[in-house]
Amino acid sequence: MNQHIRPRRSVLYMPGANTRALEKAKFLPADSLILDLEDAVAPDAKAQARQNIRQALSNGFGHRETVVRINGLNTPWGLDDLNIFAKSEADAILLPKVESAQQIEELAKHLEQLNPNNTLKIWAMIETPMAFFKLPEICNSHPRLETLVLGTSDLVKDLHARHTPQRVETQTALSLAVLAARAHHLCVLDGVHLSLDDDIGLEQSCIQGRDMGFDGKTLIHPNQITLANAIFGPSPAEIQEAEERIAAYEAAIQSGAGIAVLNGKLVEELHIQDAKRILGLANAIAQFSQAN
């Protein structure tokens, strides 16, 4: 797998209480899995869900990235979750309801105390109005922080807003999250599409998120994976254009020019940087597909 670019086109929530779903996840084409101990698990089922996820992680999910969404550290379950998963095979811990740098720092401190040699990354759920006002300090909180995950359903509820097809109710928040992530070199994932029988709406949401700059989409059902993978991955036409841009620019540089012209459009260094990103992502996706 490409060490610098990891595909996160499709990031599927999997309820920890559902052992059948956890088993099925081993064969799904999702790039990443969020094994959930929080919203998707009732209080009286959390202990069993914890054991289900622990067993599933020990059995492995192939090359799929695995992230455990624990309960908040201020809940009765959060520290017990950490005691289990700080020494697990998970790739990252997802902390819900993040509203401050201190929450990330506290989680990092616990991880280091529980397992000084672990390499677990931290993902942060950004899902409340306060979180978006605190994005700069959250993003700059700790080197372990790797990814922002938008919780748009919780956000819409807190805003007293309504879900619309164009997502006008979250446009400001979506843009702020992408800006903050890019400013601090973090991955950023779009929120879920709640309607399971609305492929057109899901497609529109994925295209909108991709065009805004999100790295991928969080999903609530396996049937949403294929569409997210297709939209958030480079198309054959984009790959071809990236290759042509690099070739044209290199030829221009060799001839002593500082820019190139391809199909009537200027090609400068900034376009080459983006072209290399696209090709790197395409290569990482190809490696991921071969491994699965």
What is 68-111 written as a DSSP string? Answer: EEPPPTTSSSHHHHHHHHTTSS-SEEEESS--SHHHHHHHHHHH
Residues 226, 278: one domain? no
Residues 203, 283: one domain? no
| Alpha-carbon gap, residue 122 to 1, rounded angstroms | 20
Confidence band of 4 (pLDDT split at 50, 70, 90): low
Residues 215, 257: one domain? no
CB 125 within 8 A of CB 73: no
| Alpha-carbon gap, residue 60 to 49, rounded angstroms | 16
Confidence band of 3 (pLDDT split at 50, 70, 90): very low
pLDDT by residue (tens digit) across 209-259?
999 999 999 999 999 999 999 999 999 999 999 999 999 999 999 998 888
Residue 192 belongs to domain spanning: 10-232
- Is the pLDDT reported for residue 96 higher than 90? yes
Confidence band of 292 (pLDDT split at 50, 70, 90): low
- For residue 291, what pLDDT is reported? 66
Residues 227, 247: one domain? no
Residues 218, 247: one domain? no
Residues 27, 157: one domain? yes
Confidence band of 1 (pLDDT split at 50, 70, 90): very low
Among 215, 232, 249, the domain-final residue is 232
Residues 48, 160: one domain? yes
Among 183, 200, 232, the domain-final residue is 232
| pTM for this predicted structure | 0.94
Q: How many other C-beta atoms lie within 10 A of the C-beta of residue 245?
A: 23
- In 3D space, the residue among 201, 195, 127, 133 whose CA is nearest the CA of residue 167 turns out to be 201
pLDDT by residue (tens digit) across 42-81?
999 999 999 999 999 999 999 999 999 999 999 999 999 9
How many independent structural domains does the chain possess? Answer: 2
Residues 207, 69: one domain? yes
| Alpha-carbon gap, residue 167 to 156, rounded angstroms | 10
Percent of the chain whose predicted confidence (pLDDT) is above 70? 98
Taking residues 89-108, report their average pLDDT. 98
- How do 260-262 and 265-267 pair as beta strands? antiparallel
pLDDT by residue (tens digit) across 116-147?
888 999 999 999 999 999 999 999 999 999 99
Q: For tokens 């959930």, name the residue.
A: 36
**Phi/psi of residue 69, each to 5°?**
-90, 110
Here the CATH number for the domain that contains residue 199 is 3.20.20.60
